[in-house]
Amino acid sequence: MARGSFLELSGVGKGYGRGDARTEVLADINLSVERGELVCIVGYSGAGKTTLVSLMAGLATPDRGTIQLGGKPIVGPGADRGVVFQNYSLLPWLTAYENVHLAVDQRFADWPRDKKRAHTEQYLALVNLAAARDKRPSELSGGMRQRVALARALAADPEVLLMDEPLSALDALTRAVLQDEIARIWEASKKTVVLITNDVDEALLLADRIIPLSVGPAATFGPAVAVPIPRPRDRKTMNHDARFKAVRNQVIEYLLGPGRRRGGAALTAAPVALANASDSGDAVVAA
Amino acid sequence: MSKTKIRFDVSAVLLPVAGALLLLALWAATSGTVSKNLPSPAKTWEVSKPFVLAPFEKRGELDQGVARFAWYSLVLVAKGYAIALLLGAPLGFILGWSKLFAKSFDPIIQVLRPVSPLAWLPLGLVLFEKSHPAALFTIAICSMWPTVLNTALGVRSIPQDYLNVARVLQLSPAKTFFKVLLPAALPYMFTGFRLSLGIAWLVIVAVEMLTGSPGIGGFLWQEYNSLIYEHIILCILTIGIVGFVLDRMMSAVEHRLKAV
């Protein structure tokens, strides 16, 4: 499986600082993502999830190991990867339309003006934002801002969509709505998606495969857990369906067990959301 | 509700008027008593009347309305200020962007910044040999520092997120500059622009006095030499009011920029 997969990380390590102040953030990260697959990486806050996205996006370079996309090493940002940042990272002086158009204009520079405009509007419509086209980010709710960010990433037609905790700043209801939209858009576009989250249930709803990330420093992946549940997945059945429960338990067992004792920095208390989920099977709504 | 509104109006209008009247009374009391040469407010008004009531009148080279003199000064300031922005903004951008550049030039900027216009002007005369370019040089070099330093601050304050977006979208250098860096730094830059304009207006009087250029400062100096002290006060008030209006206008634009 490892050889010849689409997105391939092998032996990747990354740290910051020098000498005694050196902190290893990620250690021995191995990941193979197939074309069209939706992989969720679930881990603790501060475990290095954002570093992982930066590495795949090409915003940072690994200290050790290699990252390849389609057989070619990643050396910097590229049009083949779209990124949705946790904090939206929209440009506040541009409208929703202009934020998306910026990406379209750069990616498809040789298109005629009308085609660029139509393309931009098409992607705003895809995320249900056609009506908010001329609003600035400050006039949009958090959920709407993240939709703009999603449209901006998708409109450049990347081969891989990297999402760094895209929904973690949103309230629970908005999160649920956007999770369904991400599922819908993914089904329609069949893009390769790597989504990073701290919410196990979000991963259960969306992922083909869930990969737990241990606590840092020197965070690394636990065993991948396949989610063999047909789509569309119904969040209402999540707390009763035995298949959901089985996958959830596998992920949480790792995160609260071996995944907590990495690099000698065992946590005294697990994140609340994870602990709740393992006790009662309630929906996880982590902040 | 109406009560609080009335009280607000009282403090906003009556207090400034009261303050001005108090100062006027102090002026009236000291003129002719404590200071024998200080003209009284009434005398000042009487002598200044033709200049104030016909502000755009030109009766002779040295006998023109205050608005006309102020206009000459504003034109000179506008030219010097434009040079200051054209030099200061790019310099600030480089200073904010490059740590190497900042380390190399920040100390010398801190040394040059507090130098008085009176010190720059002779150097300008040496360099350009004529009073007009020397005046522009002096205005520009004295007023550019707030623009330089605030632009540098603005560039350093650009959030890493925006830079990441520019990199991820692979924006060209030109697009990164005009769509990301410049808009992000602009509110800071405008604070610098406003402070620079204040200094440029401050410098104008000294420059006109020393070069003998026509303008509100030149008029002031000439009237001092002609022993018409009333006009000194007229000029001071005119300079103050023009400076105040300029500052209000700039801060109105600045607030709009920061509201985005």
Give A60-102 pLDDT, tens digit per residue.
Answer: 999 999 999 988 999 999 889 999 998 888 999 999 999 999 9
Closest-CA distance of chain B to residue A257, Å: 34
Kindly state the helix (H) or strand (E) to which residue A82 belongs, with its residue range.
strand A81-84
Residue at A48 is within a domain: yes
Over residues B214-241, the mean pLDDT reads 88
Please check whether residues A168 and A111 belong to one and the same domain.
no
- Asked if the structure places residue A75 within a domain, the reply is yes
Per the structure, the count of domains in chain A is 2
Rounded to whole angstroms, how far apart are CA atoms A111 and A114?
A: 8
Provide the pLDDT confidence category of residue B4 given band limits of 50, 70 and 90. Answer: low
B241 sits in which H/E element: helix B229-259
* Residue A195, pLDDT above cutoff 90: yes
Same domain, A178 and A236: yes
The pLDDT value recorded for residue B260 is 63
Q: Which residues pair with A82 in a beta bridge?
A: A161
Q: Which chain B residues contact residue A87 at CB under 8 A? A: 161
Q: What ipTM does this complex have?
A: 0.81
Q: Does A212 touch chain B (CB under 8 A)?
A: no
Domain boundary among A157, A181, A207: A157
For B183, the closest chain A residue by CA position comes to A93
Q: Same structural domain for residues A52 and A68?
A: yes
Chain A residues close to B179, C-beta within 8 Å: 91, 94, 102
Q: Do A120 and A252 fall into the same domain?
A: no
Do A192 and A258 reside in the same domain of the chain?
yes
Alpha-carbon separation of residue A149 from A90, A203, B50, B146, B170 (angstroms): 7, 20, 64, 36, 16
Band (B167; pLDDT cuts 50, 70, 90): very high
Q: Which of B161, B175, B260 sits opposite A106 (nearest CB)?
A: B175
Q: Which of A93, A94, A106 sits opposite B170 (nearest CB)?
A: A106
Q: Which domain holds residue A124?
A: 90-157
Closest C-alpha to A27, from A212, A217, A159, A155: A217
Q: What's the CATH fold of domain B75-259?
A: MetI-like fold (1.10.3720)
Least CB–CB distance from B164: residue in A89, A93, A102:
A89
Task: Choose among B230, B253, B222: nearest CA to B43.
Answer: B230
Decide if A85 is inside a domain.
Answer: no
Cβ atoms of A82 and A153 within 8 Å: the answer is: yes
Average pLDDT over residues B7-31: 85
Which of B168, B176, B188, B189 to mutate against chain A (most A CBs within 10 Å)? B168
Whether residue A140 is found in the same domain as residue A44: no
Is residue A13 one of the residues assigned to a domain? yes
Interchain CB distance below 8 Å, A93 and B183: yes
Chain A residues touching residue B164 (CB < 8 angstroms):
59, 83, 85, 89
Helix (H, G, I), strand (E, B) or coil at A37: coil
Q: Quick check: A25 and A218 in contact, CB under 8 A?
A: yes
Give the CATH number of the domain where residue A183 resides: 3.40.50.300
Tell me the pLDDT band of B80, cut-offs 50, 70 and 90.
very high
- Which of A157, A182, A201 is the last residue before a domain boundary? A157
- pLDDT surpassing 70 at residue A252: yes
Helix (H, G, I), strand (E, B) or coil at A116: helix
CB contact under 8 A, A77 and B167: yes
Contact between B58 and B166 under an 8 Å Cβ cutoff? The reply is no
Q: For residue A285, is it within any domain? A: no
Residues from chain A that touch B161, judged by Cβ atoms under 8 A, are: 85, 87, 89
A197 beta partners: A42
Same domain, A263 and A189: yes
Contact yes or no for A203/A40 (Cβ under 8 A): yes
Q: Among residues 171-210 of chain B, which lie with CB inside 8 Å of chain A? A: 171-172, 175, 179-180, 183-184
What number of helices (H) and strands (E) belong to chain B?
A: 12, 2
**Contacts A–B by Cβ distance under 8 A:** 49
What is the C-alpha R_g of chain A? 19
A117 and A246 assigned to the same domain: no
A116 and A55 both lie in a single domain:
no
Q: What is the pLDDT of residue B139?
A: 93
Cβ B260–A102 below 8 Å, yes or no?
no
Which of A137, A157, A177 is the last residue in one of the domains?
A: A157
A52 and A20: one domain?
Answer: yes
Q: Does A250 lie in the same domain as A121?
A: no
SS3 call for A83: strand
Contacts of A154 in chain B (CB under 8 A): none
**Is B257 within 8 Å of B186 (Cβ atoms)?**
yes
- How far out from the chain centre does Cα B34 lie? 33
Residue A191 falls inside a structural domain: yes
Domain range summary for chain B, segments of one domain joined by +: 75-259
Give the 3-state secondary structure of A179-222.
HHHHHHHHHHHCCEEEEEECCHHHHHHHCCEEEEECCCCCECEC
A12 sits in which H/E element = strand A7-16
Same domain as A269, residue A168 = yes
Tell me the two tokens of residue A68: 């390849």
Residue of B nearest to A105 (CA): B171
- Could you tell me if B160 lies within 8 Å of chain A, comparing CB atoms? no
Q: The pTM is what?
A: 0.78
Q: Does A136 touch chain B (CB under 8 A)?
A: yes
